[in-house]
Amino acid sequence: MPAQKKIKSTKQKLATVNPSGKKEESFFELVFEVARQIPKGRVTSYGAIAACLGTKLSARMVGWAMNGAGKVKPKVPAHRVVNRNGMLTGKHHFATEELMQQLLEKEGIKVKDDTVVDFEKLFWDPAEEFM
DNA sequence: CTCCTGACTCAGC
DNA sequence: GGCTGAGCCAGGA
């Protein structure tokens, strides 16, 4: 795990990325925004996103937010989000358990034993993007 | 309104 | 070094 550096007000940065100055977005919409920023062929963790949003203790909420990942538009690449070990803990929530892995492999990410190979190398820190 | 649960994480044993 | 318990917050019953 890359030591989580000083997280700044990422929410504000998100507001910049998403200049639809409407009402406050719910927590998972915020999560979706971050998730959509994940570059192809890269992955991140629930904790990283949570920390990025300032609620690192609520990584569960991030994962849960992903529950609606396929129900929103544009679609959220939930398959690029794994737990802090790089394990595909959320694959059971996809259409099929193989789907998540297939999507990852399709993007050049190798998956072995439900775990992303070279996870640390492929890890994408949301804080980097909004810095 | 209260209770339960959950795609995580960390700390303790 | 693996397993267990507790904390986290939001939404659904």
Task: Fill in the amino acid letter for A92.
Answer: H
Question: Which of strand B's nucleotides are less than 7 A from any protein C-beta?
Answer: 6-10
Exposure string over A40-54, b if 16+ CB within 10 A, otherwise e: eebbbbbbbbbbbbe
Question: Which of strand C's nucleotides are less than 7 A from any protein C-beta?
Answer: 7-11
Nucleotide nearest to A1 (CA to C1'): B9
- pLDDT tens track for A37-63: 899 999 999 999 888 877 777 888 898
C-beta atoms surrounding A16 within 10 Å: 8
Query: CA-CA distances (angstroms) from residue A3 to A47, A50, A125?
Result: 12, 14, 10
Q: Are A109 and A44 in contact (CB under 8 A)?
A: no
- pLDDT tens track for A68-99: 888 887 889 999 999 998 999 989 889 888 99
